Structure 1
Amino acid sequence: MATPDTAVPKLVVVDDTNPSIQYSPASAFLKDTSGKLDGRGFGGPVFNRTLTGLNGTSNNGSLTFQFNGTFVRVMVAAEGSYGWYCNVDGNHLITSFTVDTNQVTNYIACDSEGTLSGTTGEHTLAVNFFFYPDSPSNSSLWLDSIQYQPLPSDPLDTVTLRIHNSDPSISYSNSSGGWSFQGLNSNATDLTGTSMSLAFNGTSATLYSVNFGSPTQYNATTAFYTLDGKSTYFDLPGSTTTANSGGNTTNISNWPLFTISDLSATQHNLNVATSYNSTPQPQYLGIEYFIIQTNPANSSSTEGSANSTGIGSSLGDSSGSTGHSTPVGAIVGGVVGGVTIGLITILLALYLWRRRRRNLQYLLDLSAGAPADPYQPNSAEYLINPEPPMQSASTTDRPVSSGFFANSLYHSGSDPAASTVAGSSRASQPAFDPDRLVSMKNAQSLQVRDEQLLRSELRLHTDSGVRLPAPNEREVIDVPPTYTED
């Protein structure tokens, strides 16, 4: 009995056209790309629609193939009367199997079973094809593919990978029990809305199924797959016949349901599900195996080793390098440049603010040395004087009120320069103190600066921050009334 797929769920597939397979004599082997045997039996279409082999009128022939792996098997298609035998490394004859002539395609001719288990070196597979003397002239024997299990450490770059439905990388949403083994190596469901998922790194993916038709005939329906978030419907064909089925519908294996090609060499997420429909006796959605074309070695995804349990890791870790990185120097330079521009802008704003403050202090102190009468309406002090000193009815020593200027500008003593104003005698007043006038002006300047700062607005610019007045805009400078050009 052939080794079950559940024991080797992940295999590398080498097509019969691969140049690493050596045919001898090369002139005796024929090629077929028409798929002429596809509909003959229940084995289903041949892999990649190509075959290389011999017919009953040709001489016998052989082929060899070198590989690193722990398991190998040979897939053939055949009609009529024929035979073969296989060996590994010249001295290990491996098991050959008797086949059902109604299958015609996708035979397992021989496999190594446990012969190569635990080995790590390179092996040579040899297959000999032959016909019996009484074989009909229409007999033919063809190589379809060679499938082998690579070493656990081998990369899976640019290979064709066969993922059986039992592989752990395939996840089934089976909480409702919709998925079940339906025979012919297939996990299938006819329950509406049942799904499965597969993550893989590759440039194409094909789902192979079983078209069920015996003992029950099933009707065509639809299902859909979602790749990277985009959904597409595909057909589940109704039951059909083969050339060897006597006109009755039958079960056909290796039936391709859909192929997704020309994918980017990155990781993809594939979900397959049954549709919500009311088709009576609908065809099963069957998962037999997937064929994945893996990414090349120089792709953006790093390929994993063959012993990985999940297809996401065995075909490339999705967290691997994408080949794009930002230089550290560019990041540091950008940060330093941004900080430098910010500091320059802040220092420039501080410089302009301090210059404005000095100009304002200068303008407020222009009249500090001119002790004009603080009570005259024309003086600057009058504008901010809360109350004038009260005058006595007497023409002699006039008391000074407790007003601001009375306490700030004068000290006790008589004024030798007393004069008469509006017919009244201006008697001795407290002596004028110029030092206190300067102190008062400084206090006023600080108060005005604080009020201006409360009304000011600091604008932080990404450029130099310098703003010049428009050509038609006049510059306004405030000066006290005692200011002169001299």
Structure 2
Amino acid sequence: MITGRLCIGFPPIQTLQPTESLLRGDLNNAIGFSFSGCNHETLPIMILQVDEPYGNRRRLIILRRCTLMEVANLVIVDDTSPAIKYDSSWRLYNNEGATLGQTGGALYNTLHGTKSHTKFTFTYNGTLGSLFVVGTTRTGSPSSWNCTVDKKSIPNFQPKEPANHFKMCGTTASPGVKGNHTLQFEVNPLGGEQIFFDYILYTPEPESGPEDLVFDSNNTQLQYSQHWVSTSLGHVTSTAGEKLEFDFKGYSLTWFGFLEGNAAGNASATYSLDGVDPITFIVDTNKQSALTDLVFFQTPTLDLANHHLEVVFQGSSDGIPLSLNRIVVQNDTFGIRLTPTPLNTIGSRMGATLSTTSATHGEPIATSSVNSETPKPALSTTSGIHGESTPSKPTPSVNIQTHKPALNSNSGIIAGIIIGLVAVSICTAILIRRRMRRRINDSRPEPFQHTPTAVEQQSSIRRPRKWAERTTFIFRSNLGSSTETASGPPNRRRPPRLLLHQDSGVRVPQPDEESEIIEVPPTYGSLEGK
């Protein structure tokens, strides 16, 4: 075995000329051989093949193998990760995607905050010393917090202005001690001030478990075409047709760029995954100036596998360049659901898909207790991961919210609403029509039918009640002499008196004004009886 510095993203094999000891077949003396590569660390590599003698020499064919963890710059652990163990008094705040000062929204739009003296712990497998705790400061005034790793203090930093993505404590000391370590973050807010924690950054050990991985713009896995320029904030290009290619393993990817200067306008570019049709995204600087940590696009969720990204700059008539600060690969497994963001211009928030979030942004809104394992919403991470101990340069997360609507789902909803409205209208019309018919039938007079009977039976003769009641009501309403209302017939009524026609010609006395008169046919005696 020999050792060397490794990288991937280049041709898979490299031919090396061996030393004299290798010519004699003494491979043990090859230890210490190295070539330039990935993470500035010397790593073991395997000799895959020793060719047959070439003259008096042999060639070594060596495969350069680096895992994703070995070539990623840092790992991001969000505040919603179940690996973080919170004490009491911490609260989870959702919908934290808005900028603060000149810095972008919180990572995945979530924060944990507290106004009490409390702490959390986090155990990780990484390099002691390469670690940052990142949070949000809303006042810019000094606060009290303390960070320790394995019970040893690491530097704390104090804010100068309100900001997201502020490095509250951490160190880049190297070389460090690899292995399992425990971070403790203790806070003691002053004067009722609330302290917010966002995420942790650390350098992982090779072959660590799946995490969200950060690849800064200088990472050797990123393959730039000719006319990209390195700046203090990342890489930029102003030449149309310039490309960037990146091979990664994960299920999603986020591109973070930045804006510089006061130029106003827009630029366009495309990205494609695994050779499928490219998707256009727009960089619009009209409402932004000198900002970093801007989400230019978020890919859809893919299979957890190896993928190939290609980004092509389409140019800008306004001279706006395409920039890259970092790429974050989503590679963890505890419930993240991302909203893809192509097409829309920068300036709107990415759609967050936390299962419990729906609040309108403003002041932080507590939505759950600290130990809930809440899925992460869409991404918004920090710039300047390798910055100094002072706060990283303002980095608003100008997130592209461009997830395409689910047309089939929306069409079904609209059709269902229309059908429901039509059904309600039809039912209403039927009920109204039936009610009108009933009113008409009730007001229609019923024919009077009478069969002559003996006088003794005349007192029992009555008209149908419904018609009699309605006739009385209408008659009295027209006269205006009654105080009755349309609620129905009078409660009390004198019985009607009968006017009988007899062959004697004698009539019964005249009725009073309050009596009803019901006329019946006269009764006649039999001619034979005379």
- TM-score normalised by length of structure 2: 0.46
Query: Partner residue of 1:110?
Result: 169
2:280 is aligned to 233
What corresponds to 1:20 in structure 2? 83
Q: What amino acid is aligned across from residue 166 of structure 2 in structure 1?
A: Y
Would the alpha carbon gap of residues 29 and 108 (structure 1) be closer, same or farther in structure 2, given more than 3 Å must change?
Answer: same
Which of 156, 170, 173 is the aligned partner of 2:225? 173
8 Å Cα contact 2:269/2:314 also seen in 1:
yes
* Partner residue of 1:84 out of 118, 121, 145: 145
Q: Secondary structure at the match of 2:307?
A: strand
- Does the C-alpha gap of structure 1 residues 265 and 19 become closer, same or farther in structure 2, counting only changes over 3 Å? closer
Higher CA-based Rg: 1
Q: Distance in 1 between matches of 2:208 and 2:116?
A: 39
Deviations 1:74-129 (A, max 9, x none): 11111123232211111x21112233415x101111213226x3423311101122
Aligned amino acid, residue 144 of structure 1 = D
In the alignment, what sits opposite 1:316? none
CA distance in 1, matches of 2:332, 2:95: 28
CA distance in 2, matches of 1:229, 1:295: 24
Asked if the contact 1:211/1:239 (under 8 Å) is kept, the reply is no
CA distance 1:286–1:162, shift in 2 (3 Å): same
Matching residue of 1:263? 302
Matched, 1:35 2:96: yes
CA contact (8 A) 2:133 2:201 kept: yes
- Displacement of 1:165 in angstroms is 1.0
CA distance in 2, matches of 1:189, 1:45: 26
User: Which of residues 209, 219, 234 is equivalent to 1:186?
Assistant: 234
Q: What pairs with 1:206-355 in structure 2 (closer than 5 Å)?
A: 206-212=254-260, 214=261, 216-230=262-276, 231-241=278-288, 250-277=289-316, 279-282=317-320, 284-294=321-331
Q: 1:120 to 1:234 in 2, by over 3 A?
A: same
Cα distance in 2 between the residues matched to 1:122 and 1:75 = 21
The CA deviation at 1:265 is 2.3
Superposition pairs of residues 90-129 of structure 1, within 5 angstroms: 90=151, 92-102=152-162, 104-114=163-173, 117-129=175-187
Number of residue pairs aligned between Structure 1 and Structure 2 = 261
Aligned to 2:121, which of 42, 61, 64?
64
Instruction: Structure 1: give runs of 5+ residues left out of the alignment.
Output: 1-5, 242-249, 297-486
State the AA in 1 paired with 2:158.
T
Q: Kindly provide the CA deviation profile for residues 299-321 of structure 1, in whole angstroms up to 9, marking residues without a partner as x.
A: xxxxxxxxxxxxxxxxxxxxxxx
Structure 1 residues 74 and 295 mapped into 2: Cα distance closer, same or farther (>3 Å)?
closer
Question: What is the identity, as a one-letter code, of the residue corresponding to 2:224?
Answer: Y
Deviation at 1:295, TM superposition (A): 7.3
1:37-56 mapped onto 2 (5 Å cutoff): 38-54=98-114
- Whole-angstrom distance in 1 between the partners of 2:96 and 2:281: 23
Question: Could you list the runs of 4 or more consecutive aligned residues of structure 1 that deviate by over 6 angstroms after TM superposition?
Answer: none
Distance (whole Å) between structure 1 residues aligned to residue 275 and residue 96 of structure 2: 34
Contact 2:78/2:198, CA 8 A, preserved across alignment: yes
Residues 220, 238 of structure 1: 8 Å contact kept: yes
2:242 maps to amino acid: T
Question: In the aligned structure 2, how far is the partner of 1:295 from the partner of 1:9?
Answer: 14
Query: What is the deviation of 1:233?
Result: 0.5
Aligned-partner Cα distance in 1 for 2:160–2:104: 14
Instruction: Tell me the CA shift for residue 191 of structure 1.
Output: 1.9
Structure 2 distance, partners of 1:62, 1:52, is: 11
Match among 124, 146, 152 for residue 200 of structure 2: 146
Give per-residue Cα distances to partners, 1:256-291, cap 9 Å, x unaligned. Answer: 1111122122211101121045x2232x21111111
Structure 1 letter corresponding to 2:235: N
Separation (CA, whole Å) in 2 of partners of 1:84 and 1:186: 31
Deviations 1:426-451 (A, max 9, x none): xxxxxxxxxxxxxxxxxxxxxxxxxx
Amino acid across the alignment from 2:185:
V
Change (3 A) 1:222 1:106: same
CA-CA distance at 1:210 after TM superposition: 1.0
2:154 counterpart SS class: strand
Q: Is the 8 A contact 1:45 1:254 kept in 2?
A: no
Q: Distance in 2 between matches of 1:285 and 1:144?
A: 28
Question: 2:230, 2:179 → 1: CA distance?
Answer: 37
TM-score scaled by structure 1? 0.50
Q: Does structure 2 conserve the Cα–Cα contact (< 8 Å) formed by 1:84 and 1:127?
A: yes
Contact 1:179 1:188 in 2 (8 A): yes
1:209 corresponds to which letter in structure 2? G
Matched to 2:169, the amino acid is: C
For 2:101, give the aligned amino acid. G
Is the counterpart of residue 164 in structure 1 residue 227 in structure 2? no
- Give the corresponding residue for 2:74: 11
Q: What is the alpha-carbon distance in structure 1 between the residues aligned to residue 284 and residue 135 of structure 2?
A: 26
2:234, 2:324 within 8 Å by CA — same for their partners in 1? yes
1:361-389 per-position Cα deviation (integer Å, ceiling 9, x unaligned): xxxxxxxxxxxxxxxxxxxxxxxxxxxxx
Matching of residue 200 in structure 1 with residue 248 in structure 2:
yes
Q: Counterpart of 2:155 in 1: which secondary structure?
A: strand
